[in-house]
Amino acid sequence: MKDTNSRDVKTTGSGTPRLASHNKVLWITKAGILAAIATVLMYLEFPIPLMPVFLKYDFSDIPALLAAFSMGPLTGVIVQLVKNILHLLVSHTALVGELANFVMGSAFVATAGLIYRRKKTRGGAVQGLAAGTVALTVAGALINYFIMIPFYISAMGISLEQIIGATAAAGNTLVHDMWSLILYVFIPFNIFKGTTISLLVLLIYKKLSPLLHK
């Protein structure tokens, strides 16, 4: 999974500003396309078995990871930011859900992108994605425990008992309190999400690499 399509271009004199401008346009174009794809994928969310209906799965982290691998971790974070800003058009959480998604997604792609930038091989990609999945899972546990669940309870008028009931209705009867909710719902959900998305990125990145590095 080594980047064989990217190369440094050195120019001097009057050619430098034109090259810089060209590279900037390319960056904006590629980042914009990936952000648009991520936004569409974020709208295409669906539930997964044993998880409460309010917890939805989507593939929108894939374009952000492709951006992080091909253009650097900061670009991946920018894609995460853009998709969440555009998702505000249908937000039902008064920005809180989008903020949580941005923080968690940024932890995922920034961690993966930073490791891959230092070791641009398939092994480096695997290490980055594995570490990114851990970062996603830890961030998800902390954000849901300290922000999201308290927000639903205080601002949305949804009790913890109702959340536990929704989990039981999905077939998960292991949840009885806040700790077990984090342990048996949010942690496995984010491990599953991070793992499946990582596998998909590993499958498609090499094939898309020539386009991403033009």
Domains of the chain, residue spans: 15-212
User: Angle 53-55-56 (CA atoms, 0-180°, nearest 5)?
Assistant: 95
Distance CA(120)–CA(46), nearest Å, equals 33
Please report the pLDDT score of residue 48 as a whole number: 93
Q: Please give the C-alpha separations between residue 173 and each of 110, 144, 181, in angstroms, as whole numbers.
A: 34, 19, 10
Within 13 A of 206's CA, how many CA atoms are on the CB side? Answer: 11
Instruction: Give 83 or 26, the one with higher predicted confidence.
Output: 83
| pLDDT at 190 exceeding the cut of 90 | yes
The string of pLDDT tens digits covering residues 8-17 is 444 445 556 7
Residue 179: φ, ψ to 5°: -60, -45
Measured CA distances, 184 to 22, 33, 107, 124, 127 (Å): 49, 36, 21, 30, 25
The pTM for the full model equals 0.88
pLDDT at position 20, please?
78
CA pair distance 108, 63, nearest whole angstrom: 12
Contacts of residue 141, defined as CB under 8 A and 6 or more positions apart, other chains included, come to 182, 186, 187, 190
DSSP letter assigned to residue 90: G
Read off the tokens for 138.
Answer: 């830890």
User: What average pLDDT does the segment 191-213 reach?
Assistant: 93
Helix (H) or strand (E) holding 50: none
pLDDT reported for residue 202: 97
Give residue 93's pLDDT. Answer: 79
CATH, domain range 15-212: 1.10.1760.20
Tell the burial category of 25 from Cβ atoms under 10 Å away from its Cβ (0-12, 13-18, 19+).
exposed
What does the pLDDT read at residue 23?
Answer: 84
The tens digit of pLDDT for each residue in 114-161 reads 999 999 999 999 999 999 999 999 999 999 999 999 998 998 888 999
pLDDT category, 73, cuts 50, 70, 90?
A: very high
At residue 5, does pLDDT exceed 70? Answer: no
Cα Rg of the chain (Å, integer): 19
pLDDT at position 11? 44
DSSP readout, 163-200? HHHHHHHTT-----SHHHHIIIIIHHHHHHHHHHHHHH
